[in-house]
Amino acid sequence: MSESLGLLGIPLAILAGTLRGSAPFLFVSLGECITEKSGKINLGLEGTLLLGAMTAYGVSFLSQGAVGTFWAPWLGVVAAGLAGMVLGAIHGWLSQQPRVNDVATGIAMIIFGSGLAFFLGKPFIQPQAPQLFTFEWGAWSSSPQLQSALKVSPLFLIGVAIAPLLHWFFRATRWGLTVRAVGDSPQAALAMGISIFKVRMASIMAGSFLAGIGGACLSLYYPGVWTERISSGQGLMAVALVIFARWNPIQCLWASMLFGGAQALGPAFQSVGIDSYYYAFNAAPYILTLLIMVITCSPKQTLAGSPGALGKEN
């Protein structure tokens, strides 16, 4: 059995929590980043996250007989992304109707997505679905704590790779320019002959695809179950995180890791005997979200980096 780590356990837990828990934040925030760059907000990603988690778990469980326990979770990941895209398509169509507010539609999509996930997910609460494999980066170490902390999910690595790719996409490609044009100045984009509807629809669907995969991280990697309380607001936090990251995919990556690590704070402190204020530590991610909102929100000015058409009637 392993030795006790004592106070060293705190940085280790935060490192492990970052590696384990930040993937859902990362995928949802990157998805929201794409969506908001096109000038629409999708609050419904909380519902997308839940539907993605349920779909991934269900598909992984049901397909394990047909494709084996290695590929079944990957099939689940793809299915989660596709399920997210379907929700995204609904939001994309609804939120672009005349005089329809995208925030209100998003809230409706939270309720719809989570309701659908709860309804279809009933039979998957109890069974155990095959989980995604992890890279054992800690195999060199003799410490079981380190070995466990350095189990890295391929999904997390994919997310880390997507962030700079997305940054490059927005900065250096024609399609990226198109999305930014639609988000910053729809009138100019229209004059260029770009279909605002199509670009926004594609952006919202792509964003929802990523958010669905974020759900798959929850149910197929960590904590690796499907329950109705699996997301605990992570989808909404990720939306706030995009503002914190100033719509910059690279900063989304750092912000997600900060939030992932913050989740580990409360349990890690208690495990070494620092048990005062554990409610405050447990609430760390939520407090962080609120602080970001307070610091960044101002009615007088828009934030640097904010897409020009975001939240406007158009």
Q: Which residues bind another protein (CB under 8 A)?
A: 1-6, 9, 12-13, 16-17, 20-21, 118, 122, 125-126, 128, 144-145, 148-149, 218, 222-225, 227-230, 232, 234, 263-264, 266-268, 270-273, 275-280, 282-283
- Distance of alpha carbon 285 from alpha carbon 152, whole angstroms: 22
Phi, psi of 272 (to 5 degrees): -105, 10
- Distance of alpha carbon 280 from alpha carbon 291, whole angstroms: 14
- Distance of alpha carbon 109 from alpha carbon 125, whole angstroms: 22
Q: Which lies closer to another protein via its Cβ, residue 140 or residue 279? A: 279
Smallest separation, CB 244 to another protein (Å): 20
Smallest separation, CB 16 to another protein (Å): 7
User: 């670009």: which residue's tokens?
Assistant: 199
Q: Which lies closer to another protein via its Cβ, residue 68 or residue 267? A: 267
- Distance of alpha carbon 220 from alpha carbon 130, whole angstroms: 8
User: 30 and 252 in contact (C-beta within 8 Å)?
Assistant: yes
Q: Which lies closer to another protein via its Cβ, residue 252 or residue 268? A: 268
DSSP-assigned states of every residue in 129-188: PPPPP-EETTTT-S-HHHHHHTEE-HHHHHHHHHHHHHHHHHHH-HHHHHHHHHHH-HHH
Q: Which lies closer to another protein via its Cβ, residue 160 or residue 272? A: 272
**Residue whose C-alpha is closest to residue 248's, from 160, 158, 171:** 171
Smallest separation, CB 51 to another protein (Å): 16
Smallest separation, CB 230 to another protein (Å): 5
Smallest separation, CB 118 to another protein (Å): 7
Q: Which lies closer to another protein via its Cβ, residue 258 or residue 272? A: 272
